[in-house]
A and B are shown apart, each in its own frame.
Chain A
Amino acid sequence: MKSLLKTTFTGAVALAMMTSASFASELIITYDDLNPGPKAAFEAAVEKFKGENPDINVTVNNNDREAHKTAIRNFLTADAPDVTTWYAGNRMRPFVDAGLFADVSDVWEAEGFSKTLASTKPSMTVDGKQYGVPYTYYQWGVYYRKDIFDKLGLSEPKTWDEFIAASKTINESGVKPFTIGTKFLWPAAGVFDYLNLRQNGYDFHNQLTAGEVKYTDQRVRDTFARWQELLDAGGWVDNHATMDWQEGMSLFINGEAAMYVMGNFAVGSMRDGGLTEEQIDFFQFPVINPDIANAEEAPTDTWHMPTNAKNPENAKKWLAFVAREDVQTEWNEALGQLPINSNSTVGDDKFIQQGFATLNAAAGIAQFYDRDAPAEMAKAGMEGFQEFMVKPERLDAILERLDKVQERVYK
Chain B
Amino acid sequence: MSDATTHPGSTVVKASSYGWFHRNRIKLAPWLFLAPALIFFAIYVVIPIFQSIWISFYEWNGLDNADGSSSAVWVGLRHYFDLLDDDRFYTSLKNNVLWLVLFMLAVPIGLGIALFLNQTVTGIRIYKSLFFFPFVISQVVVGLIFSWFYNPNFGIVGQVWEFFGAVPPAILADEDLVTYGIIFAGLWPQIAYCMILYLTGLNNVAPDQIEAGRLDGAKGWKMLWYVVLPQLWPATFLAIVVTVIGALRSFDMIAIMTQGGPYGSSNVLSYYMYETALSEYGYRYGYGSAIAVVLFAIMMIFISFFLWKMWRDERGS
Interface residues of A in 352-411 (CB under 8 A from B): 370, 375-376, 378-380, 383-384, 386-387, 390, 401, 404, 408
| A239-B173 contact given A376-B284, A383-B263, CB 8 Å threshold | yes
Across the interface, B63 reaches (CB within 8 A) one of A98, A184, A238, namely A98
Question: Which residues from B are CB-within-8-Å of A308?
Answer: 66
Question: Complex formed: what's the CA distance from A73 to B278 in Å?
Answer: 12
Interface residues of A in 303-323 (CB under 8 A from B): 306-308
Question: Complex formed: what's the CA distance from A72 to B275 in Å?
Answer: 19
By beta carbon, the residue of chain A nearest B152 is A239
* Closest-CB distance, A311 to chain B (whole angstroms): 16
Interface residues of A in 283-325 (CB under 8 A from B): 306-308
Question: Complex formed: what's the CA distance from A386 to B275 in Å?
Answer: 17
Question: Which residues from A are CB-within-8-Å of B85?
Answer: 404
> Are B68 and A390 in contact (CB-based, < 8 A)?
no
* Closest-CB distance, A248 to chain B (whole angstroms): 12
Question: Which residues from A are CB-within-8-Å of B179?
Answer: none
Interface residue B314 (Cβ < 8 Å from any Cβ of A): no
* Closest-CB distance, A393 to chain B (whole angstroms): 13
* Closest-CB distance, B111 to chain A (whole angstroms): 34
Interface residue A59 (Cβ < 8 Å from any Cβ of B): no
| A77-B64 contact given A241-B262, A387-B262, CB 8 Å threshold | yes
Interface residue A39 (Cβ < 8 Å from any Cβ of B): no
Per-position binary interface string of chain A over residues 231-267, scored 1 when its CB falls under 8 Å from any chain B CB and 0 otherwise:
0000000111110000000000000000000000000
Per-position binary interface string of chain B over residues 118-136, scored 1 when its CB falls under 8 Å from any chain A CB and 0 otherwise:
0000000000000000000
Interface residue A221 (Cβ < 8 Å from any Cβ of B): no
* Closest-CB distance, A249 to chain B (whole angstroms): 14
> Are A239 and B263 in contact (CB-based, < 8 A)?
no
> Are B63 and A73 in contact (CB-based, < 8 A)?
yes
> Are B263 and A386 in contact (CB-based, < 8 A)?
yes
> Are B66 and A386 in contact (CB-based, < 8 A)?
no
> How many residues belonging to A are interface residues under a CB distance threshold of 8 Å?
36
Interface residue B40 (Cβ < 8 Å from any Cβ of A): no
Question: Complex formed: what's the CA distance from A238 to B63 in Å?
Answer: 41
Question: Complex formed: what's the CA distance from A378 to B61 in Å?
Answer: 16
Question: Complex formed: what's the CA distance from A184 to B68 in Å?
Answer: 34
> How many residues belonging to B are interface residues under a CB distance threshold of 8 Å?
32
Question: Complex formed: what's the CA distance from A383 to B259 in Å?
Answer: 12
Interface residue B313 (Cβ < 8 Å from any Cβ of A): no
> Are B170 and A408 in contact (CB-based, < 8 A)?
no
Per-position binary interface string of chain A over residues 50-78, scored 1 when its CB falls under 8 Å from any chain B CB and 0 otherwise:
00000000000000000001000100111
Question: Complex formed: what's the CA distance from A384 to B264 in Å?
Answer: 10
Interface residues of B in 133-192 (CB under 8 A from A): 150-153, 170, 172-173, 175
Question: Which residues from A are CB-within-8-Å of B175?
Answer: 390
> Are B259 and A375 in contact (CB-based, < 8 A)?
no
| A69-B280 contact given A239-B170, A241-B262, A386-B261, CB 8 Å threshold | yes
Question: Which residues from B are CB-within-8-Å of A387?
Answer: 262-263
Interface residue B87 (Cβ < 8 Å from any Cβ of A): yes
> Are A376 and B259 in contact (CB-based, < 8 A)?
no
| A408-B82 contact given A238-B170, A386-B261, CB 8 Å threshold | yes
> Are A384 and B263 in contact (CB-based, < 8 A)?
yes
Question: Which residues from A are CB-within-8-Å of B261?
Answer: 183, 185, 241, 383, 386
By beta carbon, the residue of chain A nearest B82 is A408
Question: Which residues from B are CB-within-8-Å of A370?
Answer: 281
| A375-B66 contact given A386-B261, A401-B87, CB 8 Å threshold | no
| A379-B281 contact given A390-B262, A401-B87, CB 8 Å threshold | yes
Question: Which residues from B are CB-within-8-Å of A94?
Answer: 61, 63, 283
By beta carbon, the residue of chain B nearest A384 is B263
Question: Which residues from A are CB-within-8-Å of B282?
Answer: 375-376, 379
Interface residue B9 (Cβ < 8 Å from any Cβ of A): no
> Are B262 and A386 in contact (CB-based, < 8 A)?
yes
Question: Which residues from A are CB-within-8-Å of B150?
Answer: 242
Interface residue B230 (Cβ < 8 Å from any Cβ of A): no
Question: Which residues from B are CB-within-8-Å of A307?
Answer: 66
Interface residue B71 (Cβ < 8 Å from any Cβ of A): yes
Question: Which residues from B are CB-within-8-Å of A98?
Answer: 63-66, 71
* Closest-CB distance, B228 to chain A (whole angstroms): 44
By beta carbon, the residue of chain A nearest B262 is A241
Question: Which residues from B are CB-within-8-Å of A401?
Answer: 87
Across the interface, A390 reaches (CB within 8 A) one of B153, B173, B264, B281, namely B173
- Known: A242-B170, A386-B263; 5 extra A-B contacts, CB below 8 A, are A98-B63, A100-B66, A242-B172, A390-B175, A390-B262
Closest 5 CB pairs of A and B: A379-B281, A239-B170, A241-B173, A241-B262, A387-B263
Q: Which residues of B contact A (CB under 8 A)?
A: 61-66, 68, 71, 82, 85, 87-88, 150-153, 170, 172-173, 175, 258-259, 261-264, 275, 280-284
Chain A to chain B contacts (Cβ below 8 Å), 24 pairs: A73-B62, A76-B66, A77-B64, A77-B66, A78-B64, A94-B283, A100-B63, A100-B65, A185-B261, A238-B152, A239-B170, A241-B261, A241-B262, A242-B172, A242-B173, A242-B258, A307-B66, A308-B66, A375-B282, A375-B283, A378-B281, A386-B261, A387-B262, A390-B173
